[in-house]
């Protein structure tokens, strides 16, 4: 699992052979080794993989490299390896999203465990991305009215409240809602709500649970004026 993903192994001293690279290669992973200062160029837009920073005493350089990845929008799992366990730097790295922080003498077993955990995170993110793509595809099949009603439903409004908000009949809302739920592939309100959270093509307009809108107030005022 995750063996098809790349490990970008950035070394602050690339001239010195690293046993960690050998161990990872023997474990079946694809390892791309590079100098620390060329990490971003080595990744070159790759969105799947993890990063291991082998820093020696250059922990600040590793923190800078980690920040550069974040700035470039490369949110890959990062594992730090350094000569000594410097708590303040380790805390900074973890707060910035590092998966783990090891001393240089870390055992192959511990490093492989960290790599496996990072790969599991990648698998989870892949599953989420695939689910988001499927939901987006379903969402784009909705009409403008169906998207609008989806937002109201996902925000907990009843059919009656939605009908009042939109100035439509209950029957019209029921028909649109039924078609919308069928297109989204669910009959469960909780599942639809999770879909809306992932679906960036949804209307995303703030929806008030209060049934009265300016349109309704205008209609009410008109009726009262006629009396």
For every residue of 65-92, DSSP letters joined together read HHHHHHHTT----EEEEESS--HHHHHH
78 has which bridge partners? 51
User: Are residues 161 and 106 part of one domain?
Assistant: no
* Residue 215 scores a pLDDT above 70: no
Q: Could you give the C-alpha distances from 50 to 22, 25, 59, 225, in angstroms and in order?
A: 16, 14, 18, 68
**pTM of whole model > 0.85?**
no
Torsion, Cα of 154, 159, 162, 164 (10° steps): -160
Q: How many residues does the chain have?
A: 227
What average pLDDT does the segment 11-29 reach?
Answer: 88
pLDDT tens profile 101-145: 888 889 999 999 999 988 888 777 777 777 888 888 899 899 999
CA 67-7-46 angle, to 5 degrees, is: 65
In terms of residue numbers, what domain contains 206?
141-214
- Least Cα distance to 35 among 12, 8, 57, 64 occurs for 12
* Residue 183 scores a pLDDT above 60: yes
What average pLDDT does the segment 177-194 reach?
Answer: 89
Residue 85 binned pLDDT confidence (cut-offs 50, 70, 90): low
Domain boundary, last residue among 65, 94, 128: 128
Domain count, the chain: 2
Instruction: Assign residue 197 the CATH number of its domain.
Output: 1.10.10.10
* Residue 22 scores a pLDDT above 50: yes
* Residue 3 scores a pLDDT above 90: no
User: Are residues 183 and 114 part of one domain?
Assistant: no
- Cβ contacts of 159 within 8 Å, gap of 6 or more: 170, 173, 174, 177
pLDDT at residue 47, rounded to an integer: 64
Share of the chain above pLDDT 70, in %: 83
Residue 135 lies in a domain: no
């Amino acid at each position: 699992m995750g063996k098809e993903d790349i490990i970008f192994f950035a070394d602050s001293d690339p001239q010195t052979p690293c046993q960690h690279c050998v161990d990872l290669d023997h474990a079946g992973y694809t390892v791309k080794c590079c100098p620390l200062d060329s990490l971003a160029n080595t990744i070159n837009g790759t969105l799947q993989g993890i990063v291991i920073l082998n820093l020696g005493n250059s922990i600040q350089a590793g923190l800078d490299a980690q920040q550069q990845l974040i700035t470039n929008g490369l949110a890959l799992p990062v594992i730090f390896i350094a000569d000594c366990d410097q708590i303040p730097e380790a805390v900074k790295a973890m707060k910035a999203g590092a998966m783990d922080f090891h001393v240089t003498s870390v055992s192959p077993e511990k490093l492989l465990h960290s790599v496996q955990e990072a790969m599991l995170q990648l698998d989870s993110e892949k599953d989420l991305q695939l689910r988001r793509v499927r939901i987006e595809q379903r969402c784009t099949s909705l009409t403008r009215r169906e998207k609008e009603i989806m937002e109201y439903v996902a925000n907990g409004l009843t059919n009656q409240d939605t009908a009042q908000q939109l100035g439509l009949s209950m029957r019209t809302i029921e028909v649109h809602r039924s078609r919308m739920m069928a297109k989204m592939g669910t009959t469960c309100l909780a599942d639809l709500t999770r879909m809306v959270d992932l679906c960036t093509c949804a209307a995303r307009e703030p929806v008030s649970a209060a049934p009265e809108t300016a349109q309704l107030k205008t209609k009410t005022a008109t009726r009262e004026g006629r009396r």
